[in-house]
Chain A
């Protein structure tokens, strides 16, 4: 077996050194009823060629966006990733190292994390950011728990534009710790409605921009009103590329920001692994979940980096920790950081403008199709249209024609009001020919 270096001769000699006769003697502590003589009922070992053939068979049954005009977003976006990103993250020293607990031999990972934290802080317009969480949805949920710790209040208000998967993830974690949630019904616009639900027990309001339907909103007034009522504003961003163009959550007054970072550096990969960006106001630093990397000096006085403020974490505080998180999303954070340092402010702003232009070109074409109504008032690279018939059937019909058209709102919510709503996205990867193909196929199926 190609991954197991011991030979039978090695094994015999090692058993001899240990002083036992057979490998079974090392498993004597297993209770007799649980000992198994043979192998379990699964296939036997296989060579690279055989395994590759099996995986290729799985892959062949999927329609990859690389082969189809593609307009799907709703929380995960297809962007171009420079070749350099994947090359670097596959370097052994990044790919096959552990969490940097021994800083003397992990300065590579640690400096990347320090740069990552700074990038995230600047991108979100916040003073401090952590070294990543699992993804945007769990980051949003951690934000809610953090708001409870800070305010000692027990209710979270969730906006009607919040991605339903995020809402459900927040509900799972919030209810587990005894936080009540009050979620508005899905709505395309009108994030300010959250203010009507704030009461003396409200720890936070959670608002997403651009929201599920693509609507971008200035949250400045919502921030002021929430804070005046003693609640924190948690801003969720599922399309991080939008921050290359839109006002940052920090500038709008956010207390906590939870972002899905997938759009920068991380492939779609059917939903994971992704990378959660988490930033907050400085005064909340000690209530933050997850790892933090900080600057210091070594014994020679040279600058270096270490994981710090770890007394917040589970391995020290145990049942009093700010979160139970241990493993985070290190390699995806690295990919994010490399991609963003390649883009820089110039590249990020340029690609953001291209996204805006593509999506608005798509909007102009869709608006011309009979019976199609654009319902999103202002947006970045994603918007929602109301079709003359059920969106899920239209999407299936277009998929049969090799076009991946968007996400029916009914995938998340069966409310009849939204049965015909379709969320479509257009990033820099969409060509004019893709748009033309969608429009012509759509006319056929409507």
Chain B
């Protein structure tokens, strides 16, 4: 039996040792097991390697004499090094794929993977924006389909697809409004009414186009004060910019009266559509008197946020504003669809172009895939489940956390304030950071500005009841800890994240924005 393999007869410990204290353990080099410190690519010693195999050919670039550079200093990583670098970095991020991501106003919903697959079809992802239109009829038809869905869902007659994100859409909408006023000899209208609870992009965009912002007050129940609004209307008003449902997560009950008042004054109604997710398929902004509204495809229509973009912000337009939509337009021609890229003569009303080419095609593909998947019935269910989930959270937490506007239902997000934390020594920020230790991303904090210590929770419709219950249980347990005076749990939080609280003061006082 000499040739037979030896049996393994040596045992080893398979249960933890009971007498070792493990909680204060620190590794020798400062890493945390699988969560590894990862140096910057610029800290690699050898910059000369490359992870892409190209021939090292000689060229005779004598025509570029004096134009050739010799100062390139960029590190190169081989493929295995690059993969490790980015995978290690990725593990320091939270993501909607890991847990509920309740950022109010940001709509962190599940991003269907079919969308990604479709965006990568060679016939859609690998086509050039300036190919002859005869070779991209499918792309134009896709844009036309997306436009049809957006117009039908909003009850609006026209849409400008090209804006690159929500704020770019706001700009597009206000430029159309400005062009319309100027065409009517009303160029003196330069004031925009904006509620105090608005997203920062609204006043920023209004100021951008040279308009003056006039703030309108809010009622005790968190909505636009119609009387205050009426008192601020004069013949210098160009538009109102209003988010609906608003940033407190509430539907503006007086919205039709607001639209009527604005229209009676000869101004236009710009609706910030960031919160369209709450009403898609159930309410059409066109029925509310809206003249222009951007739609964040990366919110309502599930295109991924990607750590900060890209987004897409198509703007639906009323009959009155449609002629001013920026180029290009997809229109029916004699032999198929064509792209109208120029105003053929200077008399045309459109205000020009928002960006090069035709907008965020990659996002159009994903959004249309999402719409086709849900259909009209599924999208209505999206709104209903989003609103149901938010109200469930509000109902489940209102016995421990204070609600600034308790009357009636909220829409897709539940707003809390910090009155309940008074005298605990715990702030909204501390409370939010402690959520990280429990595995959740914090909610939106200190926004809207009109509510003190605001905590805005948007669960979205893609959370199951079980996940909501887990979230509620965590928040309740944290609330109890805060009220019991367990302040350390909050002041030092997060304890278990890849990084501790960062010194933002230092970053801003001595800006260090590049390596070396």
Contact A88-B86, Cβ < 8 Å, known A293-B513, A304-B499: yes
**Of A152-160, A185-193, A336-344, the one touching chain B:** A336-344
Contact A109-B93, Cβ < 8 Å, known A176-B175, A395-B132: yes
Interface contacts beyond A34-B288, A62-B138, A331-B310: sample of 8 additional A-B pairs, CB < 8 Å, sorted by A: A6-B465, A92-B98, A93-B95, A117-B513, A268-B125, A272-B360, A272-B363, A348-B74
Asked if A76 is at the interface of the complex by the 8 Å CB criterion, the answer is yes
Contact A99-B308, Cβ < 8 Å, known A48-B114, A270-B124: yes
Most buried by A among B168, B206, B374, B494: B374
Interface set, chain A 235-274, CB cutoff 8 A to B: 243-248, 251, 260, 267-273
Contact A102-B436, Cβ < 8 Å, known A40-B376, A97-B307, A178-B210: yes
Asked if A371 is at the interface of the complex by the 8 Å CB criterion, the answer is no
Docked CA distance A269–B208 (Å) = 30
Contact A357 B124 (CB under 8 A): no
Contacts of A345 in B (CB 8 A): 47-48, 72-76
**Of A15-23, A197-205, A223-231, A434-442, the one touching chain B:** A15-23
Contact B72 A348 (CB under 8 A): yes
Docked CA distance A377–B498 (Å) = 54
Contacts of B111 in A (CB 8 A): 95-96
**Of B12-20, B247-255, B415-423, B479-487, the one touching chain A:** B247-255
Contacts of A298 in B (CB 8 A): 499-503
Docked CA distance A112–B51 (Å) = 18
Docked CA distance A197–B1 (Å) = 97
**Of B58-66, B227-235, B262-270, the one touching chain A:** B58-66
Asked if A433 is at the interface of the complex by the 8 Å CB criterion, the answer is no
Interface set, chain B 372-393, CB cutoff 8 A to A: 372-378, 380-382, 384-385, 387-389, 391-392
Q: Pick from B138, B309, B373, B497: contact of A48, CB below 8 A.
A: B373
Contact A14-B465, Cβ < 8 Å, known A123-B74, A342-B50: yes
Considering only CB atoms, which chain B residue lies closest to A331 in the complex? B306
Contact B93 A62 (CB under 8 A): no
Considering only CB atoms, which chain B residue lies closest to A163 in the complex? B356
Q: How far is the CB of A339 from chain B (nearest CB, A)?
A: 8
Top-4 shortest CB links A-B:
A344-B76, A59-B123, A331-B306, A271-B357
Asked if B83 is at the interface of the complex by the 8 Å CB criterion, the answer is yes
Contact A106 B374 (CB under 8 A): no
Asked if A169 is at the interface of the complex by the 8 Å CB criterion, the answer is yes
Contact A109 B388 (CB under 8 A): no
Asked if B108 is at the interface of the complex by the 8 Å CB criterion, the answer is yes
Contacts of B121 in A (CB 8 A): 55-56, 59
Contact A64 B409 (CB under 8 A): no
Considering only CB atoms, which chain B residue lies closest to A59 in the complex? B123
Contacts of B500 in A (CB 8 A): 104, 298-300, 302
**Of B3-11, B276-284, B315-323, the one touching chain A:** B276-284
Docked CA distance A121–B40 (Å) = 15
Interface set, chain A 289-332, CB cutoff 8 A to B: 291-300, 302, 304-306, 308-309, 311, 313-321, 323-332
Interface set, chain A 1-28, CB cutoff 8 A to B: 1-6, 10-11, 13-15, 17-20, 23, 25-28
Contact A63 B502 (CB under 8 A): no
Asked if B333 is at the interface of the complex by the 8 Å CB criterion, the answer is no
